Amino acid sequence: MSASPVDEGLLRQVADTLEQHRHTVVGLSHAIAADPELAHEEHRAMDRCAGVLEQAGIEVERGAYGLPTAFAARFGSGDTHVVLCAEYDALPEVGHACGHNVIAAAAVGAGLVLAPLAEAAGLRVTVLGTPAEERFGGKVDLLDAGAFDDADAALMVHPTPYDEYGPRSLGIEEWQVVYTGRASHASAAPEQGRNALDGLVAGYQAVAMLRQHLRPQQQVHGIITHGGDAPNVVPERTEGLFYLRARTPDDLADLRERVRACLQGAATATGTSVEITPVGHTYLPLRPHAGLVGAFTDACAALGRPYTPDPQGDGLGGSTDFGNVSQRLPGLHAYVAVHSWPAVNHQHEFAAHCVTPQADETLLQSAGALALTALAVAGDPGVLHDPDPTS
């Protein structure tokens, strides 16, 4: 679906304003990348984003909606309200290997572009700092707190090796799994012990054997985070983390039941007990909105951004708490190419690539395209009409 052609005068305004803020926006991206902070610890990233917006005269609420590392920058007036989502949490060990520095700076950059245009366009804008995407699901907390209640659309971009403006994703649920046994001397009295590590390893192996019988796009990933304390002590307590992914809520419910049976069966077999605790929120699959995808596609074309799809075809993988947002209201979660292949998300090489001149250019184009998409929503209510509401 394509939106109305981009007005040439408006396009020049967007491009000129973006050029004025080029060094600020790129500098913000690089500063966040150089100082990674994990989920719910993103105090410096939040302050950097908020500071840039405040320097432009935009009022910012830090600690918005009860989340210490969230922020909300609000401006404009009118009947149309668009939320620009900024993510800025990093990953353990690999830092900003998912490119959240680009996501945050693109949202802030779009806000800077829209600030002088919003009033005339009848547009209200919130640049919303959304913490803890990699774990816990900050956007679900923000949804529950009312951050999107009166929004007409929510927009964001995500850097990837290739372009896909209307991607889909898998739902995900994270489990902490704890096995409890009985400690004993591993040599002198092993018969008195019940090995919690055996329970966890047996559960892991049972899940591995389950994989060949899963439905398409059902996935399970697991790691052992604590395997015991000393080789000569029968492990009394062990811990693991498991991610369950699926393309529909029904498939996720089916996977939940089958994985739970594997883990509980392993406990029975080893004479241990197991406790399964969900961590954070369940992420729902992305629901791409055809009208917003069309408007963003037109904006990218107007800005001279070439579309570079994956030559192997559209993939389906990964998960995001923006999926929950997109199931509640019209949402755009556009994958934007930083041309990093063969480096992919969650690799050290991808983190390094997200501060290259190529990534910087993608960042600036994305900020402009987000701004033009928001203006398209304000200028044409038909953009928010989705011809396939079940998609």
Q: How far apart are CA 70 and CA 47, in angstroms?
A: 10
Closest to 200 in 3D by CA, of 252, 254, 233, 242: 242
Closest to 153 in 3D by CA, of 380, 390, 387, 391: 380
What does the pLDDT read at residue 315? 65
What does the pLDDT read at residue 387? 62
Q: How far apart are CA 351 and CA 328, in angstroms?
A: 31
**Strand order from edge to edge, sheet including 153-160:** 59-62, 71-76, 123-129, 80-86, 153-160, 331-337
Q: Name the architecture of domain 8-168+285-384.
A: 3-Layer(aba) Sandwich (3.40)
Q: What are phi and psi of 243, to 5 degrees?
A: -110, 130
The boundaries of every CATH 3.30.70.360 domain in the chain are: 171-282
What does the pLDDT read at residue 385? 84
The answer to whether the CB of 49 falls within 8 A of the CB of 88 is yes
DSSP per position, 361-385: HHHHHHHHHHHHHHHHHHH-GGGG-
pTM over 0.75: yes
Regions of the chain where pLDDT drops below 50? 1-3, 391
3-state SS string over 323-354? HHHHHHCCEEEEEEECCCCCCCCCCHHHHHHC
State which amino acid sits at residue 31. Answer: A
The boundaries of every CATH 3.40.630.10 domain in the chain are: 8-168+285-384
Q: Name the architecture of domain 171-282.
A: 2-Layer Sandwich (3.30)
β-bridge mates for residue 185, sequence order: 233
